[in-house]
Amino acid sequence: MTINAANDSHQLLFWSAEFKDPAIEQAYQLHVQPDTVRFLRISLFVWAGLLLFFVPADLAFLALSEGFFVIAGLRVTHAALLVWLARQVSRRPDWASNGWPVTIIALLGYPMYLVYPSYDPELATVSLGVMMLMFLSMYVFIPNRLMLTNLIALVGIVGVVTGLVLLDVPVTGIVLTILTLCWPAMLGYVAAQRVNIGSRRSFVLLQQAASVNLILEQEISRRKELEEELNRQALIDPLTGLSNRRHYEMLFEREHDRCRRHDSALTLGMIDLDHFKRINDTYGHDFGDQVLKFMAEILQQPLRHSDILGRFGGEEFILILPDTDIAQAQAVAERMRLSLEQDAVIRNGNAVKVTATFALTQVRAEDADIQECIRRADQALYEGKRAGRNRVALADAA
């Protein structure tokens, strides 16, 4: 017989109140193991303390008789076993989850209860009451597997009945004793079953919540990655991987403000690929795209991390050099120009040479925006093209 766990996600066995799937049950036991160990140790120490607490009562009832020493010896021995087990489960937490160690120790405590009436028949009622209390305590206060607790109760009932039979107690007395012992066992079983089922259902809900949280975290992470990619795409030219207009204009404003505050130089350049229309007409637009990507790679090589290279449009590029005056920028542009001139794009095993014309302008503090700088650089670029291309032109000298 099984019952459904929370949201019918896991099946629970009715009688044992454990998961039908051994793997899920093991996961549950590992999850609750720290709490099981802590509660079991407390219970075992309390149990041992109660056993020793009643030694003076035994002395009052039995005096210094043989029965007192036998029962006292059994009490002390059982208490020692309980303390030993409490210490062991700290080192072996799997013993707490397994259940058999505490079951065996509990069964070893029965001789004391069973021999008690043989030394003083008048204490049979007290012994029976203690046995009932023990049954209830085993189910409610001692962490253990439910079916193993049932075994402890069954062995206790069988032991008491066996003792009554040996003492020739009438059948009615035996039946009454069985009924008396069964009701705390049944009450304890129902209470323990409810606690075990509730605990496992909570575990299922916790696992489901953890699974949902993991899915949400993965979705949030995926959305963040998507957002970052979208932001990147919104700021990056898809062909060359360089900054697009929106990005380099934003970076220019930032660097322009910084350079004005620190009174440092800032240079803007424009780069135009020479005879790009001829390349497209001769080799096709696909090769033209390859040339633009090749050019972007070459132009980035001499740049610092703080330098900005963007695609202006078509075959034109924008260069922004923070903390760089016009002379320093001319040296950087010359290295770029030479790198392009000395390298080549390979097409079908043949090298295709490409060159570019560069134009530079010093950014002024009074420049309102990037467009004023671009206008000066564009004029210098025009002069450089007219002068023969493949050169570096300076706007201030144009």
CATH number of the CATH domain containing 300? 3.30.70.270
Helix axis angle, 370-386 relative to 245-262, nearest 10°?
Answer: 110
- Say yes or no: 266 and 194 in one domain: no
- Say yes or no: 202 and 253 in one domain: no
pLDDT for the residue numbered 61: 82
Q: Is residue 222 part of a domain?
A: no
pLDDT for the residue numbered 195: 92
Helix axis angle, 146-166 relative to 124-140, nearest 10°?
Answer: 170
Q: Is residue 230 part of a domain?
A: no
229-234-239-241 Cα dihedral, nearest 10 degrees: -70
pLDDT for the residue numbered 396: 66
Tracing tokens 């206790």 back to the chain, one arrives at: 156
Q: What are phi and psi of 198, to 5 degrees?
A: -60, -40
- Say yes or no: 95 and 181 in one domain: yes
pLDDT at 375 > cutoff 70:
yes
Residues 151-166 have pLDDT tens digits of 999 998 998 888 888 8
- Among residues of the chain, what percentage have pLDDT more than 90? 61
Q: What is the mean pLDDT of residues 198-202?
A: 92
Please report, as a single letter, which amino acid is at residue 364: R
Which of 187, 212, 237 marks a domain boundary?
212
CB 373 within 8 A of CB 268: yes
Q: Is residue 235 part of a domain?
A: no
Taking Cα atoms as reference points, which of 242, 245, 335 lies closest to residue 294? 242
Element (H, E) at 11: strand 11-13
Q: What is the mean pLDDT of residues 80-88?
A: 95
Q: Is residue 224 part of a domain?
A: no
**Four-residue CA torsion sign, 81, 82, 87, 90:** positive
Q: Is residue 229 part of a domain?
A: no
The pTM assigned to this predicted structure is 0.62
- Nearest 5 degrees, angle CA 149-CA 147-CA 103? 40
- Say yes or no: 317 and 378 in one domain: yes
In three-state secondary structure terms, 139 is helix
Instruction: Give the domain extent around 267.
Output: 245-397
Other CB atoms within a 10 A radius of the CB of residue 282 amount to 11
Taking Cα atoms as reference points, which of 241, 376, 331 lies closest to residue 295? 241
pLDDT at 6 > cutoff 60:
no
Which of 190, 212, 234 marks a domain boundary?
212
Taking Cα atoms as reference points, which of 134, 99, 103, 98 lies closest to residue 116? 134
Q: Is residue 202 part of a domain?
A: yes
Residues 307-330 have pLDDT tens digits of 999 999 889 999 999 999 999 999
pLDDT at 7 > cutoff 70:
no
pLDDT at 8 > cutoff 60:
no
Beta carbons within 8 Å of 326's beta carbon, 6+ residues apart: 265, 267, 360, 361, 362, 394, 396
pLDDT confidence bin for 397, thresholds 50/70/90: very low
pLDDT at 9 > cutoff 70:
no
- Say yes or no: 330 and 374 in one domain: yes
- Say yes or no: 168 and 50 in one domain: yes
CB 318 within 8 A of CB 248: yes
- Nearest 5 degrees, angle CA 217-CA 220-CA 226? 140
Residues 167-192 have pLDDT tens digits of 788 899 889 988 988 999 999 999 99
pLDDT confidence bin for 398, thresholds 50/70/90: very low
Q: Is residue 219 part of a domain?
A: no
Q: What is the mean pLDDT of residues 94-103?
A: 93
- The overall average pLDDT reported for the chain is 89
Per the DSSP assignment, residues forming a β-bridge with 319 are: 269, 309
CB 316 within 8 A of CB 270: yes
How far, in Å, CA of 167 to CA of 177, rounded?
14
pLDDT confidence bin for 385, thresholds 50/70/90: very high
- Say yes or no: 166 and 29 in one domain: yes
Q: What is the mean pLDDT of residues 52-67?
A: 86
Domain count, the chain: 2
